[in-house]
Amino acid sequence: MLKRAIVTGGNGFIGSHLVKNLLNNGYDVTVILRDQASNTDRLKDLGINIVYCDNKQITTLPERVENKVFDLFFHFAWEGVSGDARKDINVQFDNIRSTVDAVVSAKALGCQRFIGAGSIMEDESLYLCETAGKPLPAQYLYGSAKLSAHMLSKTKASEVGIDFLWTKITNTYGPGEISPRFINTTIRKILNAERLEFTAGTQNYDFVYIDDVAEAFRLVAENGKNNTSYVVGSGNARPLRKYVELLHDTLETNQELHFGDIPFQGVNLDLSCFDPSSLFLDTGYRPKIKFEEGIQRTFEWIRGVKNAEI
């Protein structure tokens, strides 16, 4: 029987890869975009249904969708994921509200399960909140909003009677990523022969290739346990410096790495926070792309994009 899924923010980096994964696994997919001006380059020629609905009007979604019966609802739409908007409390309040409203709309559309996209920054924000004497800088409004959305939407899901699953994404990278995230920025610096400056690199990190992240979301939706939060990780978290050195060696660059030039002002989470064992156990998910292979693929894509720009 054909399964039907809704994906809000399906034109984003992770959302678009999930859409392709769902299509490859026999799903009928409806993507929710903010408006007709939304960039749909990542969704070209996929044979999907597109519905336009701004996040702030997501309660009206059932009125805009022709097919009223779906199975899964993936919620990726989130304003202010980078830049100054990440520190804008009003933007983040709107995100919290729209996530809760999305749960209600998912139920109204007949969805059996709601899958929310969270972040490892939830743990960082909670750590700062609960540690005496530690400030909670504005940069953590994003993580705090994700944590609030997690808690409130889970409560609403219980109230309306829909399965609730949440993911905490560690760090995603791969072809198609255009925002100034760590891997993307570092590879571009290598290509531009810029000085490679980092913190001391002692903070723990985990990187997961985009195709593996998309697969994890589908398997969480299909096999995950109700009212459960899953860490989407590689199972190989380690200090950032080790990742940087491995990236450096994989790309065989002779550029010097300068550790300690940038002060670290974030939170160094314990390795246990990156543990994806429950994801592995409950869903059968296992990452397939090793970091070295993922870095090589990402490097080739970024180099191709840069050459096309010249």
Mean pLDDT over residues 114-137, rounded?
A: 92
pLDDT of res. 310:
39
Question: Exposed, middle or buried by CB within 10 Å (0-12, 13-18, 19+), for 28?
Answer: middle
pLDDT of res. 1:
58
CATH topology of domain 3-169: Rossmann fold (3.40.50)
pLDDT band at 119 (very low <50, low <70, confident <90, very high): very high
**Residue 84 clears pLDDT 70, i.e. is over it:** yes
Mean pLDDT over residues 38-52, rounded?
A: 83
Identify the CA nearest to 79 among candidates 60, 46, 56.
Answer: 56
* Residues sharing a CB contact under 8 Å with residue 24, sequence separation 6 or more, in sequence order: none
Answer yes or no: are the C-beta atoms of 31 and 53 closer than 8 Å.
no
What pairs with residue 205 in β-bridges? 238
What is the C-alpha to C-alpha distance for residues 119 and 87, in angstroms, rounded to an integer?
16
Please write the tens of the pLDDT for every residue from 274-294: 999 999 999 999 999 999 999
Work out the angle at residue 51's Cα, subtended by the Cα atoms of residues 165 and 61, and round it to the nearest 5 degrees.
60
Q: What is the CB neighbour count within 10 angstroms for residue 32?
A: 30
What is the C-alpha to C-alpha distance for residues 97 and 94, in angstroms, rounded to an integer?
5
Please write the tens of the pLDDT for every residue from 179-215: 888 999 999 999 999 999 999 999 999 999 999 999 9
Secondary structure of 53-104 as H, E, C letters: CCHHHHHHHHHHCCCCCCCEEEECCCCCCCCHHHHCHHHHHHHHHHHHHHHH
Among 8-12, 66-70, 244-248, the range of highest mean pLDDT: 244-248
Q: What is the value of pTM for the model shown?
A: 0.95
What is the C-alpha to C-alpha distance for residues 5 and 299, in angstroms, rounded to an integer?
32
Identify the CA nearest to 106 among candidates 77, 71, 150.
Answer: 71
pLDDT band at 306 (very low <50, low <70, confident <90, very high): low
Query: SS3 breakdown of the chain: % helix, strand, coil, rounded to 5?
Result: 45, 15, 35
